[in-house]
Amino acid sequence: MLFFTQCFGAVLDLIHLRFQHYKAKRVFSAAGQLVCVVNPTHSLKYAPTRCAAAQSSAEQGILPPCHHHEAVHDPQLVPCTCPLFSCPWEGHLEVVVSHLRQTHRINILQGAEIVFLATDMHLPAPTDWIIMHSCLGHQFLLVLRKQEKYEGHPQFFATMMLIGTPTQADNFTYRLELNRNQRRLKWEATPRSVLECVDSVISDGDCLVLNTSLAQLFSDNGSLAIGIAITTSKVHNAEAEM
């Protein structure tokens, strides 16, 4: 009975996922955009990353203790960039993508323009929706987070991070677009590098920020569709022509 119960639950989840994907394709197929249905990653025990803990200590004027073994730490190593996981992994930029796909099972979607469909927006904070976007020969990490910046007032934060260096990130521009019920909202900016912290980007507010009521205006039955487009920056294009 336990076996059949678990199988039945898995079938229901698959049916729900297929239904969400069908709805998204019906809405966005006219625009010829690829749709990725993203289920939430929810954790009741939100463990801040090492960079977030360091930032909090710096804000309080507390410097982290200095240890002799820190002097031999390889500065080229990148900590795990997957939010909501207290993951001790470190590695070079070239293997970040394989780590995210193999360890954290993060999907990757290819295409110049895609639609990020986040489900179950009603879940309590903190909750993350994460995918990787492969475009223009690079990989990007899109993070949508529901978080309480002020107690009792959850907000949604969406940002795009390049899995590369800050210099490489300056060569691109990303656009996030919400479009529903004759309302349109756009956010356009230069992506940040994964060498920076997702937590710091969100705390700085350098991303698309939605309060709950605004998110509800653009959501459909608890799902939020975000159109994503990535282009090379005008400055980079001008330099290439010269």
Contacts for 44-53 with beta carbons within 8 Å, 24 or more apart? 46/84, 46/126, 47/84, 47/85, 47/86, 48/199, 49/79, 49/80, 49/83, 49/86, 49/197, 49/198, 49/199, 50/79, 51/79, 51/197, 51/199, 51/200, 52/197, 52/199, 52/200
Quick check: 101 pLDDT over 80?
yes
Confidence of residue 1 (pLDDT cuts 50, 70, 90): low
At 148 the three-state DSSP class reads: strand
**Structure confidence at residue 98 (pLDDT):** 87
Confidence of residue 165 (pLDDT cuts 50, 70, 90): very high
- Bigger pLDDT: 119 vs 32: 119
Among the ranges given (29-33, 158-162, 168-172, 232-236), the one the predictor scored with the smallest mean pLDDT:
29-33
**Structure confidence at residue 54 (pLDDT):** 40
Confidence of residue 214 (pLDDT cuts 50, 70, 90): very high
**Structure confidence at residue 155 (pLDDT):** 95
**Structure confidence at residue 33 (pLDDT):** 59
Pairing between β-strand 138-150 and β-strand 172-180 as defined by DSSP bridges: unpaired
**Structure confidence at residue 103 (pLDDT):** 84
| pLDDT, tens digit (0-9, with 9 covering 90-100), for 102-155 | 888 888 888 878 999 999 999 999 899 999 999 999 999 999 999 998 888 999
Angle at 31 between CA 116 and CA 38, to 5 degrees: 15
Quick check: 67 pLDDT over 80?
no
- Bigger pLDDT: 16 vs 113: 113
Using alpha carbons, select from 23, 18, 17 the residue that is nearest to residue 40: 17
**Structure confidence at residue 233 (pLDDT):** 80
- Bigger pLDDT: 136 vs 55: 136
- Bigger pLDDT: 237 vs 192: 192
Confidence of residue 59 (pLDDT cuts 50, 70, 90): very low
Instruction: Indicate the fold that domain 32-40+77-232 takes in CATH.
Output: 2.60.210
Respond yes or no on whether the N-terminal peptide bond of residue 126 is cis (omega within 30° of 0). Answer: yes
- Bigger pLDDT: 21 vs 75: 75
Residue type, 200: S
Give the pTM.
0.72
Q: Which two tokens stand for residue 137?
A: 């020969």
Quick check: 29 pLDDT over 50?
no
Domain-wise residue ranges, the chain = 32-40+77-232
Spatial separation of the C-alpha atoms in residues 208 and 138, rounded to whole Å: 22
**Structure confidence at residue 9 (pLDDT):** 53
Q: What percent of the chain has pLDDT over 90?
A: 40
